[in-house]
Amino acid sequence: MAVVKRRSGNYAIVYRVNGRQIWESIGPSKREADRAERERRRAADRGEWIAPSRISLEQFGRDWLLIRDPSRVAGTGGGRTRTRLEASTFEQYASVLERHVFPRLGARPLGSLRTADVDALIHELEAQGKAPGTVRNVIVPLRKMLADAVRQGLLIANPASNADLPPAQDFVGQEIPSKHTEAIREALAERARPDPLRDGEPDLFFAYLFDVAVATGLRLGELRGLRWGDVDFERSLIRVRQAYSRRTLKRPKTDAGNRSVPLFPSAEAAMRELAARAFARGRFADEQLVFPTERGTPLDGSNFNHGVWSKALQRAGLGEWTVDGNGKRRWKNRYRFHDLRHTAVSRLVAEGADVKLVQAVAGHSKSSLTLDRYTHLTDERVREAAKRFDPARKR
């Protein structure tokens, strides 16, 4: 086993396996090559050394996806394989590997991958303007895939385990001022199509969805998964029991997410209009969705955001046109639909609602999480109280 400098200027470790000479490329650093050579020697002395696999990353990755595919049926017995991946998660993993990993690193021998290669992939994605969350979502399946290669003895260490990932960014919502919520609601009403079942009157379906969202703070996925059986008009409650995410109806991830939310008067008025609309279409039943497409299926999140939400914000003038790197004009929304959730909670806090009520609406597991997430609002209330009250002042 020896360190050799190649014509390209990179260093490699040269050794023999079963009489065949193997060149393991390390990189341009002599120090890194020497360190890698010492590690290989120590591993060989302990009987733990593994010859780097010559299989390509793409070949290993496609085999890995085949095994992890939850729709694959085993050859014997007809049972499904144990993939530990939900169908939606598998689709996301397969998509990012096909789009971002295989085109850049797929031809590389599996055993030649280094942390520097994964870092280079990350930096390239960042240079393309990919958001930190998108970059992290690309590296997650790569890291899991390479961890399996380590477990199977094809790699000594996982080169993606210590990659230079961008910091995770928790989305911080913003409260939408009343004049802007009114403008968005008006834009949704103005864009409403005629309802053929109501003599051509405007079909305010999306305006009612907006009313429920801003009054209850429900997430878009929770609204898309809401059924009429979850709406209790008698007790003025909405029971959140499932959400629609990645083309799948799922139960909430936590017990706190499985909750009851007050059906405030504005939301109740919208719900009763929606109930009449659903009854006219023969879809007012417990298992029917409150906010379906015309075919009765859950709303597509992407179609809603681009075809409804963005169009309404354009009509209301709440955003701006920008030009991307290719010279194309793109509309940038001033608000996200998720900001309606932040707006609902913010208004409850501003009105002095009990923290337990706010916690229930937000679906947080602990009231401390609610307070931490909306500290800026409670601080504002403290400042307002300081102006209006003085415990030492005689009344």
How confident is the model at residue 274, as a pLDDT? 97
For residue 111, pLDDT beyond 90? no
Domain around 93: 55-169
User: Is the pLDDT score of 156 beyond 70?
Assistant: yes
Is the model more confident about 87 or about 214?
Answer: 214
Q: Are residues 135 and 157 in the same domain?
A: yes
> Over pLDDT 70: what percentage of the chain?
84
| Same domain flag for 191 and 320 | yes
Task: Give the helix/strand (H/E) hosting 15.
Answer: strand 11-17
What average pLDDT does range 166-188 have in this prediction? Answer: 87
pLDDT of amino acid 169: 64
Statement: the pTM of the whole predicted model exceeds 0.85: no
Tokens 């990932």 identify what position? 165
Q: Which helix (H) or strand (E) holds 221?
A: helix 220-224
> Total structural domains in the chain?
3
Whether residue 292 has pLDDT greater than 90: yes
User: Within this chain, do residues 242 and 266 fall inside the same structural domain, yes or no?
Assistant: yes
d(CA 342, CA 214): 9
Within a domain: 344: no
Within 10 Å of residue 160's Cβ, how many Cβ atoms?
23
Q: Which residue has the higher pLDDT, 71 or 144?
A: 144
From 333, 359, 381, give the residue that closes a domain: 333
260 in a domain, yes or no? yes
Same domain, 101 and 248: no
**Alpha-carbon 6 to chain mean position:** 44
Q: Which CATH number is 120's domain given?
A: 1.10.150.130
Tell me: pLDDT of 15 over 50. yes
Is 223 within 8 Å of 213 (Cβ atoms)?
Answer: yes
Residue 83 token pair: 């993939």
User: In the numeric block, which tokens belong to residue 240?
Assistant: 């959140």
**304 and 184 in a common domain:** yes
User: Is pLDDT above 60 for 81?
Assistant: no
Residue 73 pLDDT more than 60? no
Question: Region 203-218: what's the mean pLDDT?
Answer: 96
Q: Is 187 found in the same domain as 274?
A: yes
Residue 25 has pLDDT above 60, yes or no: yes
pLDDT at residue 244 tops 80: yes
The verdict on residue 349 lying in a domain is: no
| Weakest mean pLDDT among 10-19, 74-83, 171-180 | 74-83
Amino acid at 161: S
Lowest-pLDDT range of 18-32, 96-110, 184-198, 260-274: 18-32
Is the domain of 236 the same as that of 306?
yes
On whether residue 64 sits in a domain, the answer given is yes
Of 317, 333, 349, which one is at a domain's C-terminal end?
333
Q: How far apart are the first and last CA of the chain?
A: 89
Q: Look at residue 48 in the predicted model and tell me its pLDDT.
A: 58
107/66 same-domain check:
yes
Higher pLDDT, 267 or 257: 267
Do 182 and 329 belong together in one domain?
yes
CB neighbour list of residue 130: distance below 8 Å, 6 or more residues apart: 138
Nearest-angstrom CA–CA distance, 245 and 301:
9
Residue 383: predicted pLDDT? 67
Tell me the average pLDDT of the chain. 85
Q: Are residues 142 and 259 in the same domain?
A: no
Please answer whether residues 216 and 192 qualify as being in contact, where contact means their C-beta atoms are separated by less than 8 angstroms: no
Q: What share of the chain is helix, strand, coil (3-state, %, to 5)?
A: 50, 15, 35
Same domain for 204 and 122 = no
8 A C-beta contact, residue 250 and residue 243 = yes
Q: Mean of the pLDDT values across residues 356-378?
A: 73
Confidence of residue 75 (pLDDT cuts 50, 70, 90): very low
Same domain membership, residue 324 and residue 207? yes
